[in-house]
Every structure is written in C-alpha cells, then in structure tokens.
Amino acid sequence: MTQKARLLIVDDEPKNIHLLSNVFADDYDISAAISGAQALRLLEHNNDIELILLDVMMPEMDGHALFAKLRANPATADIPVVFVTDRADPDSEILSLKAGAVDYIHKPIHVGIARIRVEQQLALSRQKKSLQQLLRERTLEQHRLSNIIEGTASGTWEWEVASDRLFINQHFASMLGISPQELKTYTMAQWTARVHKDDQALCAQALRAWVRQGNTLHSETLRLQHAQGHWVWVQIRGSRMDDTTSQAVRVFGTQADMSALVQAKVADAANRAKSEFLSRMSHELRTPLNAILGFGKLMSLDEGLTASQLDYLNEILQAGRHLLGLVNEVLDLHQIEAGRMTVEVKDLLLAPLAQDNVDLLEPLALAAGVSLHMNIAPDTVVRADPKRLSQVLINLVSNAVKYNREGGFVRLESAHLADGRVQITVVDNGLGISDTAQAMIFQPFERGDADDTPVQGTGLGLTLTRKLVDLMDGEIGFESQDGQGSRFWVVLNAGKL
C-alpha cells in the first residue's frame, strides 16, 4: 500500500484547520500548527512533510515571516508552500509568489480547486526531487566515464569557437595521422575538411548542436579521411562550455575510433541507461498527468467559471495532453526497442479502418482550413495490426494537416503494386521538408524544419511510425519538396478475406 503524503496546515484559526483537514484527510496524512513558532518546532522533529498550507494573516509571526524562516533553513527550504488567505489584493499574491511560494489559494476555499492545486504541486515536487537525484547520479556517472575514457586512450579535443582553434591530444592526432607540426596550429576547419561528403550534413548538425544546445552532450558517427587516404569511422562527442552571458566560447569532447571495443560497450551501456530512464520516468509522469487531465476536465464542466478561467484551464489541458502524448510515444518506442511490443497481423479491410481515422482527424483539418480526402477501394485488403496501422495513419495524416497551409489539401490513397503488395499514400501540398531536414526525418527527437513553426510536436511520431511499419513487415518512405508539399507512403502485404 502506497504511503500517503503528509501535509502541514498552519493557521491560527482552529476552524480553518478543521475545514482544511476535512478537505484533505481522505487522501493525505495531516499535521497542524496554530502558530508560526509551533510549526517550526513541529518541522524540527518531522522530516516527512511534503507540502505546507500556510495562512498569511497570523498574529506574532505572520505567514510571510514564517515563510522566510523556512526558506532560510536548508532542512525546510525545498518544501513547497501554498499560501491560504482571504486577502484578495494582487499585491499580496505577487509578494508571496515572488518570495517563492508555489501557489495561492483564496478563501472561501473551493474544494475541487484546492485538491487539484495540492495534487499538482505534490506531483511537481516529487518530479523535481527525482530529477535532482538523477542529476547527482549523472554527475557521478560523468566522473566514472571520464576515468574510463582516460584509460581507453580516446582522443580529446577542445574547440575555441572565436578563433576556430582546435586543441587536440596525441590520441586524437594518431587516429587521423595528424603530424606534430599540424597539432600546434590545428583548426576546426581542417578537421571538417576531412569529413566524408556523405556525412557533411551530420557534421553540420553536430556543429550546430554543440554551439546551440548548452551543456547537452551531442554525438555523431562520421567518416574522416586519414592522412594516408583511407577512411576512419569515428564517434565524435561534444558539449558546450558557457561564459556568464551564455555565449559559446569553447566546445569540448572526445573522439573515439569505433573499432575500440570498450567504446562500443560504453555507448551501448549509455543507450540502455537512457532507455531505462525514459521508461521509468514516463511511467512516473503518467499517473499525475492523468490526474491533472481528469480533474481539469471535471473543472471545465463548472458553469460558474469565467471566460478567463476557462482559457487558463484549456491551456492546462492542452499542455497536459501534449505531454501525455510524448510520454505514450516514449513508452511505445521503448517497448519496440526492448523487443517487448508484439503485433497481431491479420487480414483486414483497409477502407473502413482508414475512414474511421479520417473521421477522427476531420475536426483538426477543419480548424486548420485544410481539405481532407480519401480514395481507397472498398475491397482493398492488407495484412496489418489494426491498432498499429491506425496509429501509423493518424501520425502521417495529422502531420500532413498540421504542416500544411490554409486552403491546402491532404489525400489518403491506396494502390496495388506490381509485386502484389498494397501501397498507402498520404499526399499534401503543405510546407514540404528541406533537403537538410530530410536526412534526419526519422531520427528520434528530430523535428527538422518544424522547430521553426508554431506547431507542437515531440520529434518521435515518424520514428515510431517507421518502427511500427517494420513490425508489420512493411516499408515506409517519402518524397518532398521544400515549400511545395510531401508524399509519404507505406507498403504492406496484401491480404485475403
């Protein structure tokens, strides 16, 4: 049985403590104090308080004074505090939020709103603690990996962006046959000149990532030409070092020969750790997200809400759905990569399934001013998993709608190929995809040109779509012209009914 979270209610009015206790007693363990001094004494002996509901107007030590003492004490500084008060003036609320309070509940208390706000703040607090723990673990892991790299004789480098100087160690130089004379004045331009022509886009992507993405570690696998003329596959990793104005002044990293067994093991372990982390965090996020969306939907049914409150609530719901969609996609992707996702491939009529998905997306198309058409023969039969094929069609058609233009069109079509298979095609006359973005369109978390649009997305949809198609023994591909539209196609085995 999951242990209940403990709340501390601080209010000089016993009737208010009684009221709040009744609101939260079913879901939480409650502690109470009738003064700031009593609250401080209680906290000295209780380290399991997860959230404090604090009255502002109290004699001797008011809520703001108590809050300042809590923040000054490292043992209580991170406990989230929600002020509860009958003061309705904005200045009081602004003062509290600026001081670091996580939320503000007005009296008389609306039970539903109070419950949701407490649930949300507890969920955020727990996520923060989880991420802090992860950061500590990752810092230790970074030290461990640094020692491993030192022992594996990997090449190390440091790029001084302003001057383009590239400071490299002897292991780095030996991988590419760089002479000791070149070592003294080597530049990033000299290094990029060695990159294979087919890897130039990946190289440019790596350089952009190192300069733009803060201290995020970014890696690419490239072919570099050795001084003797042959090509060397290397894994290049880099991360930016910022100055106080957050401008990139240096980028540092490692270069490893992919033939080095230990480097392959380190990379494999890092990928497994990333996958496990995403899976665990996704499961942990799902529960509070569903609660937020559920209670948000209930709140939207309240006829007493003002137009402004409804707008705020819709923003919460929209953000929650977006994040839940990301979580679900991450979980699906993890299941596929771990080999735990199974598909039930069977013969099915394509037209009814496709029509259901078109009907589902029709409101999205109408809102975007995009016409949606379907041309699939009623007797077309394919071999596929109905649920996963729906997921594929929804991803492709919704992308075609979202990255379109007002007055544009999207067509969902099918045709029988000469080899007996069935090709499903999604055609649009939307924004299209640039040549640079096309090279990484199926890469996870890569949105290409979409990063420059207001359209929300996770960068996982097409990655997941391709893997689902692979699971159904199919093929996926696309053609696109920047500014003119795209044509995505999926080929599946034909079935019989």
d(CA 405, CA 400): 10
Which of these three, 309, 337, 365, is where a domain ends? 337
What letter represents residue 138's amino acid?
R
Q: Could you report the per-residue pLDDT of 100-112, keeping only the tens digit for each?
A: 788 888 888 888 8
| Percent of the chain topping pLDDT 70 | 85
pTM of the model: 0.42
- Cβ 106 vs Cβ 73: under 8 Å: no
Its sign, for the CA torsion 20, 21, 23, 29, is positive
Residues 422 and 363 in one domain: yes
Residue 491 confidence class, pLDDT cut points 50, 70, 90: very high
Its domain, for residue 24, covers 6-110+118-131
What CATH number does residue 225 fall under? 3.30.450.20
101 shares its domain with 169: no
Task: Tell me whether residue 145 is in a domain.
Answer: no
The answer on 474 and 426 residing in a single domain is: yes
Mean of the pLDDT values across residues 89-105?
Answer: 79
pLDDT > 70? residue 448: no
d(CA 493, CA 473): 8
Residue from 399, 465, 395 nearest 431 by CA: 399
* Residue 235 within any structural domain of the chain: yes
Higher-pLDDT residue of 267, 275? 275
Determine contact, residues 423/415, Cβ cutoff 8 Å.
yes
Alpha-carbon gap, residue 135 to 178, rounded angstroms? 37
Query: Is 143 inside a domain boundary?
Result: no
Please check whether residue 148 lies inside any domain of the structure. no
Is 83 in contact with 54 (CB distance < 8 Å)? yes
CATH number at 104 reads 3.40.50.2300
Distance (Å, whole) CA 141 – CA 269: 12
Q: Minimal CA–CA distance to 99: which of 88, 76, 83?
A: 83
Within a domain: residue 141?
no
**Residue 140 is assigned to a structural domain of this protein:** no
Phi-psi region of 346 (alpha: psi -120 to 50; beta: other; left: phi over 0): beta
**Are 306 and 388 found together in one domain?**
no
On the CB side of 152, CA atoms within 13 Å amount to 22
Predicted confidence (pLDDT) at residue 36 exceeds the cutoff of 80: yes
Exposure letters 204-228 (e unless 16+ CB within 10 A, then b): ebbbebbeeeeeeebbbebbbeeee
Joined together, the tokens standing for residue 284 give 């942990």
The reply to whether 90 and 171 lie within a common domain is no
Cβ neighbour number for residue 426 with a 10 Å cutoff: 23
Q: Are residues 481 and 380 in the same domain?
A: yes
Residues 481 and 351 in one domain: yes
CA-to-CA distance for 239 and 209, rounded, in angstroms?
Answer: 8
Predicted confidence (pLDDT) per residue in 304-361, tens digit: 888 888 888 877 877 776 676 667 777 777 667 666 677 889 999 999 999 998 998 8
Answer yes or no: do 314 and 389 share one domain: no
Residue 81 lies in a domain: yes
* Whether residue 483 is found in the same domain as residue 355: yes
**Domain edge (last residue) among 337, 360, 391:** 337
Q: What is the mean pLDDT of residues 86-96?
A: 76
Same-domain pairing of 199 and 240: yes
CB within 8 Å of 429: residues ≥ 6 apart: 404, 405, 408, 409, 484, 485
**Where residue 363 sits, what CATH number does that domain have?**
3.30.565.10
Among candidate residues 294, 315, 337, the one where a domain is terminated:
337
**Mean of pLDDT over the chain:** 83
Q: Given the structure tokens 């950061």, which residue do they identify?
A: 135
**Nearest in space to 156 (alpha carbons), one of 138, 172, 177:** 172
Mean pLDDT of 236-245: 74
Domain count, the chain: 4
- Is the domain of 330 the same as that of 378? no
Q: What is the CA radius of gyration of the chain?
A: 28
Q: What is the pLDDT of residues 198-233, one digit of tens each?
A: 989 988 888 888 877 666 677 888 888 999 988 888
Same domain, 13 and 100: yes
Per-residue pLDDT, 282: 65
